[in-house]
Structure formats: structure tokens, C-alpha cells
Structure 1
Amino acid sequence: MFFLQSLFDLTENLLGDSINHFPLIELIFYSLDQALFYFIVWAIGRSLYLFIRKKKQLPIKIRREVILNLFVFYLILLIHLTVFREENSIGNVAVTLRSLDQINWTPFVHTFKLTQGVTLFDYYYNLYGNILWFIPMGFGAAYLTTKRHYFFKTLLLGSVVSFSIETMQFLFHTGVADIDDLIFNTIGTLVGLILFEACQWIFYKVKGIKKKKNQLR
């Protein structure tokens, strides 16, 4: 790790022996560290683009830029958490040809098997983790896409990103391709969409109330 090694060492010394699933903490640290590097590369390119727009006196929406950058960082982090994890990186993975039988095609079979383990941690993480990690997908993509058909566009994007992750996991042999992940990721995207809709409703409701108050003054 380049950015977070010191913080990880401190966390490992404090919690390494007390947390049973500390490898998950290590994975998050590693993924965050990698995501920071690639995000800096993105931020430099984006800054140059905005500089050119400013020179041409083209409009720049600050709030949209903030959401866009958060969303890009989230996507980079998501890819590293699911595909390029541990010792794997974009530079050292290679396509490994395997039988398609190694893909879990039947829904919920693998998830149900996880309930038979020594603990239910893997089951909960597989189920709720796959949903939670894709909630920002639904919220962020809904905000950034055009208003026309944004609901279906966002849901489709979430499914495509999830499918791409499962495909990369299978091709690079860095994870288990599972139909359950695709289902849970799509549910997570849908939850994010619903949250976005709720926030939109609250925003316009509050805006409408303020407008009425101003008219009465």
C-alpha cells in the first residue's frame, strides 16, 4: 500500500487479533489505497478538462462535479473490492480459460449453502453486502443521467456493471462468478433509485413550501 500503509499497520496492531474477519478489513484498506491512486489520475485529467471549459467560458456545475467525482471514486473502489483485490492488479492479471460449469448459474443455491457454515457472517456479507455496495450505484447514476427514462437507464447500468464484474472475476480468476451477485447487485441499485426518488420528493416538497411562504410575504 502506498497511501494507507501506516494507518493499516496501526489498525492491525489494535484490532488484528480481536476481529475474526480481519482479512476483510485488510481488503478494504488495500482497495481504498488502490482506488485513491487511480482516482488521482482521474482527477488530474478531469481538472484539465474543466480548465479548458473555463477558458472557453463554458458553464461548470459545481454540485454535479462533486457528485460525479464521488461516483467515479465509488466505481474505482467497487472494481478493486470485487475484481482486483489482494495481490491482483490491473497490471498483473491475465485471462484464464475455465469451464463455464464453474459459474453458479442456479439462483440462491450458493447463498443458501452459506447458511450451513460455522458462522453466518459469509451469508450476511454475501446477501446484504452485495446489496449495500450497489446502493450508491442507483443513487449516483440516477442523479448523473438525463431526466428522460433515468429510472430504467440507472437500473440497466447497475445490471451491466454487476455483469461486467462477474465476467471479469471469471475471466481473471479473481473471484466466483455467481448469478446471486447479479440479482443482489440489481436489488441494491433499485434501493438506491428509490432513495433518490425519496430525496427528490422531499427536495421539491420543501422547495414548494418555501416558495409558497415567500409568496405570502
Structure 2
Amino acid sequence: MVDKKQRNLTKILFAVYFFILIWILLFKMSFSLDELYKDRSINLIPFLGSAIVNGKIDTSEIINNIIVFIPVGIYICMLKENWSILKKISVSFFISLSIEVLQFILAIGATDITDLIGNTLGGVIGIGIFYLFSKVFKNKTTSIVNILALISTIGLGSLISILLLVN
């Protein structure tokens, strides 16, 4: 069982992560809606929007979508440890779906099934990573993941601050 301080730290770190996730994915790191590319399109054919010249798939976009959603799976496991794996995967799917739908409604990006697949896969990988950590670290898993998340959050916040100052 996780103590109250650890659970509160997890909630705070998840809130910061989720804010950054929305800012990156939905608002493309802009501070003004005027800066956003106005686009309302839907791609329902997997990996079609990722095609580039010579018919090759742009794997970097897919990999980035997977990576950015790995923490979703980890945080779901930390915050809802009693939920079934299917329920945890469903939450990851619905968070991604919500972002894609909001992009369409607000006309601030393309709604893409490939993003939904990649994001959900990232959540599944995050769930797997958490279960692997829990096998190795047992009841210290939440503490260790919180420390790693805190370091990552500070690092990411510093990197974003530097990028904003430079630009």
C-alpha cells in the first residue's frame, strides 16, 4: 500500500505531466490560439498520414506518439492500482481519443487514427513498464517511479524554459 504523501506526489506529477502533454499535443507548445495552424481533417486509415516520399512511413512521428504516452500507462497504474489491465488500457485509449476529438472540434490539428494507435500503444507499454518495475522493486515501486518522474519533470521543465527563452 502506498502512503498518502507518495499518492499526493503522484497526483501532482501526473497533473504537471498531463498539462505538458495537452500543451504539446493539443496546443503545439503555443501560448496563443492565433499561432496554431487551423486544420480540421480526419484520417481514419492507419499509417496513411505518416507516409512520406517514396512511400516510406515516417516512423519518427509514430515513435514520438508512443513515447509521449508511456507515462499515461505508468500513472494510471500508480493511481488506480486495483483496476484491471483492460480498464487501464481503456483509459489510455480514451485520453488519446479525447485529444484527437478536441483537435478536430477546435480545428487545431489533424485527427489521425495513427496517433490514436500510437498513443494507446504508448499507454500499454507504460502499463507493462510499471508491472515490470513492480516485479523488480516490489513495494518500493511507487517511490522509485515518483523519484524518476520528479527528475524527469524538472528536466523537461528546464528544457522547455530554455527553449522558450531562446525563441
The answer, yes or no, to whether TM exceeds 0.5 is yes
Whole-angstrom CA distance in 2 between matches of 1:132 and 1:185: 8
Deviation of the 1:109 alpha carbon: 1.3
The Cα offsets for residues 157-214 of structure 1, whole Å up to 9 and x where unpaired, read as 110010011011111111110000000001000000000000111123999xxxxxxx
CA distance in 2, matches of 1:206, 1:192: 17
User: Percent of aligned pairs with the same residue?
Assistant: 29
Cα RMSD of the aligned pairs, angstroms, is: 2.9
The number of aligned residues is 136
* Match of residue 14 from structure 2: 71
How far 1:156 sits from its partner (Å)? 0.8
Q: Note if 1:175 corresponds to 2:109.
A: yes
Task: Say which structure, 1 or 2, has more relative contact order (CA 8 Å, 6+ apart).
Answer: 2
Can you give the 5+ residue segments of structure 1 that lack an aligned partner in the other structure? 1-59, 208-217
Question: In structure 2, the residue corresponding to 1:133 is in which secondary structure?
Answer: helix
TM-score, length basis structure 1: 0.56
Asked if the contact 2:39/2:108 (under 8 Å) is kept, the reply is no
Tell me which protein shows more strand as a share of its residues. Answer: 2
Counterpart code for 2:61: N
Kept after mapping to 2: 8 A contact 1:115/1:123: no
Match of 2:74 in 1: 139
**Which residue number corresponds to residue 108 of structure 1?**
47
* Offset of residue 83 of structure 1: 1.1
Distance 1:97 1:174 in 2: 6
Q: Distance in 1 between the 2:96 and 2:140 partners? A: 35
Confirm or deny that 1:129 pairs with 2:64: yes
CA distance in 2, matches of 1:205, 1:187: 26
Corresponding residue for residue 133 of structure 2 = 199
Q: Which has the larger radius of gyration?
A: 1
**Counterparts in 2 of 1:140-159, with a 5 A limit?**
140-149=75-84, 151-159=85-93
Gaps of 5+ in 2: 142-167
TM-score for the superposition, normalised by structure 2: 0.71
Is residue 105–residue 178 contact of structure 1 (8 Å, CA) maintained in 2? yes
Q: Counterparts of 1:65 and 1:205 in 2: how far apart (Å)?
A: 17
Aligned to 2:18, the other structure's residue is in SS state helix
